[in-house]
């Protein structure tokens, strides 16, 4: 600071000296009579103060309100809301904990995900332990009914939105929360596909009304099979000249199918009163047919081997027997009235490829069978149909026929070798250069896949399924192309669907 003060004083001297020379017209400062003396300055404290213990402003959150009545006291984390009537569902969702745990830790909360609300006067336990988090996104499901036309009916997992969520919630949030793809969301909620997803999510939604969104598909729980009755013999009703015939009669008129839940409460099955309707195969089939308006269920069967009619009858008996036994476990034999395992017989199909059958299925069988079975429905609904009757078919060649006849019976163990082909009717080959070969995780080139009907692609549009899963179980589990992809295994693997 002393050096700065000296420099300033010298600068003043120089400026005034130059001015004096200009005024006096002399070359020397000494000839100017009024030379300015050096200026003086008061001393400046140059010491820098040390930091004090005061850290400045720190935000202190307001204290939480008192715990709700009955809320546990040894909780790892509590939380509260600033508003009344906030859904308990959102509190569980925000903290990624199961709703059931939230109610257990806070017994004052109503044990109903739809109607449970919070009070701003209390705080609630949101994590009993540090790792109290959801491990399965289905624990975030709401068992409520669909509110929009075009929502899949075979469901047990909803979320909901209302007009106040607009701007804060998007379709992406639903995809992230439930770990699903946009394709699945749009397939299960076709009303969302009418424009941009998030825009459709909130379009024309009334104030203070909730709109349900299907976010997962119910999974059929099928008991272990056991023989309950002697085998059912199905006489061979078809002649080689017939290209299509049915094994069943037209279904009788039915009442409305029992919904999975009413007002948020899961419903018990009328067929098995001690079990949920969501777990009853016949109940689920009824909901599928009602959603689509179809009068038949089951996959069409292409017969591609004609060496022995007796062997074919034995094959059909086994196939039909497996369906019968599963339905009988749930007291659902009445649904056999609408079971139509349509057999398409034509000797020209002997040794046919799936490509040949697929072309016949799409161009001939589907248009004819759909019109015959559903005279009041428009073919335009097929793309949005939930059931897979007109989307997949079964192919039986010599190898698969023999595998079924040689497979162990119900009393001899689990079938892992008797199979049929389940074929995607709308599949198109997508061969690309290098398809069927690639690079493994360690960087080594993988061997080219074995050609199947000339294709080395990973997805060949069909797979081998154990015969006892090929009708009822497959019909319930594989309803659309995404379901097929989820269960797909490249042949020669044989897929069990249970």
25 Rama sector, left if φ>0, alpha if ψ -120 to 50, beta otherwise: left
- The long-range contacts involving 183-186, CB below 8 angstroms and separated by at least 24 positions, are 183/482, 184/482, 185/213, 185/215
**Residues 309 and 205 placed together within one structural domain of the fold:** no
Band (pLDDT 50/70/90 cuts) for residue 311 is very high
Distance CA 153, CA 387 (A): 10
In this predicted structure, the answer to whether residue 476 has a pLDDT above a threshold of 90 is yes
**Residues 130 and 156 placed together within one structural domain of the fold:** no
Answer with the one of 179, 199, 216 that is the final residue of a domain: 216
**Least confident span in 33-47, 61-75, 187-201, 484-498:** 33-47
Bridge-based pairing of strands 392-396 and 300-303 is parallel
In this predicted structure, the answer to whether residue 376 has a pLDDT above a threshold of 50 is yes
Q: In the chain, pLDDT over 90 holds for what percent of residues?
A: 37
Its domain, for residue 130, covers: 77-135
Flag whether 61 is in a domain.
no
Six-digit token pair at 440?
């493994």
Flag whether 19 is in a domain.
yes
H-only helix segments in 170-308: 171-178, 182-188, 197-202, 281-292
CB 86 within 8 A of CB 117: yes
Answer with the one of 99, 116, 135 that is the final residue of a domain: 135
**Residues 129 and 199 placed together within one structural domain of the fold:** no
Q: What is the mean pLDDT of the chain?
A: 76
Flag whether 468 is in a domain.
yes
Q: What's the pLDDT at 448?
A: 81
Q: In the chain, pLDDT over 70 holds for what percent of residues?
A: 71
Flag whether 104 is in a domain.
yes
DSSP string, 222-286: -PPP---SPPPP------TT-S-B-SSPPPPP--PPPPSEETTEEPBPSSSTTSBGGG-HHHHHH
Mean of pLDDT values over 184-191:
80
- Model pLDDT for residues 332-341, shown as the tens digit of each residue: 999 999 999 9
Which SS3 state, helix, strand or coil, does residue 339 take?
strand
H-only helix segments in 131-196: 171-178, 182-188
**Residues 483 and 377 placed together within one structural domain of the fold:** yes
Flag whether 480 is in a domain.
yes
Classify residue 298 as exposed, middle or buried by CB count within 10 Å of its CB (0-12, 13-18, 19+): buried
**Least confident span in 129-138, 249-258, 316-325:** 249-258
Q: H or E element: which one contains 214?
A: strand 210-216
Flag whether 189 is in a domain.
yes
Q: H or E element: which one contains 484?
A: helix 481-487
**Residues 398 and 308 placed together within one structural domain of the fold:** yes
**Residues 322 and 457 placed together within one structural domain of the fold:** yes
Q: What's the pLDDT at 136?
A: 45
**Least confident span in 31-35, 163-167, 225-229, 472-476:** 225-229
Looking at the 3D structure of the chain, how many domains does it have? 4
How many Cβ atoms from other residues are within 10 Å of residue 428's Cβ? 7
**Residues 144 and 18 placed together within one structural domain of the fold:** no
Q: What's the pLDDT at 353?
A: 95
Cis peptide before 292 (omega within 30 of 0): no
Band (pLDDT 50/70/90 cuts) for residue 171 is confident
Q: What is the pTM of this model?
A: 0.52
How many Cβ atoms from other residues are within 10 Å of residue 3's Cβ? 7
Flag whether 394 is in a domain.
yes
- Model pLDDT for residues 227-245, shown as the tens digit of each residue: 222 223 333 333 333 333 3
**Residues 352 and 309 placed together within one structural domain of the fold:** yes
In this predicted structure, the answer to whether residue 164 has a pLDDT above a threshold of 90 is no
**Residues 475 and 352 placed together within one structural domain of the fold:** yes
Q: What's the pLDDT at 59?
A: 54
**Residues 474 and 385 placed together within one structural domain of the fold:** yes
**Residues 312 and 352 placed together within one structural domain of the fold:** yes
Residue 176: phi and psi, rounded to 5, are -70, -40
CB 125 within 8 A of CB 105: yes
Q: Which single residue is written with the structure tokens 């081997």?
A: 305
CA-closest candidate to residue 404, choices 326, 464, 340, 491: 464
Indicate if the alpha-carbon torsion angle 241, 298, 295, 234 is positive or negative.
positive
In angstroms, the first-to-last Cα distance of the chain is: 88
Flag whether 53 is in a domain.
no
**Residues 115 and 82 placed together within one structural domain of the fold:** yes
């Amino acid at each position: 600071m002393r050096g700065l003060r000296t420099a300033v004083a010298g600068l003043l001297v120089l400026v005034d000296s130059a001015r004096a020379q200009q005024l006096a017209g002399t070359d020397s400062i000494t000839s100017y009579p009024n030379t300015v003396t050096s200026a003086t300055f008061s001393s400046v404290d140059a010491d820098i103060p040390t930091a004090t213990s005061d850290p400045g402003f720190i935000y202190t959150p307001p204290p939480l309100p008192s715990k709700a009545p009955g809320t546990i006291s040894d909780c790892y984390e509590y939380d509260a809301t600033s508003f009344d009537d906030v859904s308990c569902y959102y509190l569980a969702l925000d903290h990624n904990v199961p709703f059931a745990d939230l109610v257990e830790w806070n017994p004052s909360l109503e044990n109903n995900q739809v109607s449970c609300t919070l009070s701003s006067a209390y705080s609630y336990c949101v994590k009993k332990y540090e790792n109290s988090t959801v491990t399965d996104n289905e624990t975030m499901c709401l068992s409520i009914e669909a509110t929009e036309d075009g929502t899949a009916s075979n469901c047990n997992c909803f979320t909901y939105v209302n007009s106040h969520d607009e701007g804060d919630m998007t379709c992406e949030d639903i995809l992230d929360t439930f770990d699903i793809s946009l394709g699945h969301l749009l397939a299960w909620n076709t009303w969302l596909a009418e424009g941009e997803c998030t825009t459709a999510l909130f379009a024309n939604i009334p104030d203070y009304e909730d709109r349900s969104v299907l976010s997962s598909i119910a999974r059929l729980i099928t008991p272990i099979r056991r023989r309950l009755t002697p085998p059912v013999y199905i006489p061979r009703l078809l002649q080689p000249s017939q290209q299509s015939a049915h094994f069943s009669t037209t279904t009788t008129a039915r009442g409305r199918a029992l919904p999975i839940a009413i007002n948020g409460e899961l419903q018990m099955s009328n067929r098995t009163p001690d079990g949920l309707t969501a777990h009853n195969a016949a109940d689920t089939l009824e909901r599928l047919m009602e959603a689509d308006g179809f009068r038949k269920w089951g996959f069409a069967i292409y017969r591609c081997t004609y060496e022995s009619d007796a062997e074919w009858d034995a094959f059909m008996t086994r196939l039909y027997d497996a369906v019968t036994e599963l339905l009988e476990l749930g007291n659902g034999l009445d649904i056999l009235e609408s079971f139509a395992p349509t057999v398409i017989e034509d000797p020209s199909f002997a040794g046919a490829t799936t490509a040949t059958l697929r072309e016949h299925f799409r161009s001939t069988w589907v248009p004819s069978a759909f019109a015959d079975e559903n005279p009041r429905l428009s073919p335009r609904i097929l793309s949005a149909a939930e059931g897979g009757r007109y989307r997949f078919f079964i192919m039986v060649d010599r190898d698969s026929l023999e595998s079924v006849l040689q497979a162990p019976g119900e009393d001899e163990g689990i079938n892992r070798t008797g199979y049929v082909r389940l074929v995607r009717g709308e599949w198109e080959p997508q061969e690309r250069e290098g398809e069927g070969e690639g690079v493994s995780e360690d960087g080594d080139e993988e061997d080219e896949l074995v050609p199947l009907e000339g294709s080395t692609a990973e997805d060949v549009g069909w797979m081998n399924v154990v015969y006892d899963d090929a009708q009822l179980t497959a019909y319930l589990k594989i309803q659309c192309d995404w379901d097929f992809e989820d269960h797909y295994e490249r042949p020669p693997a044989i897929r069990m669907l249970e």
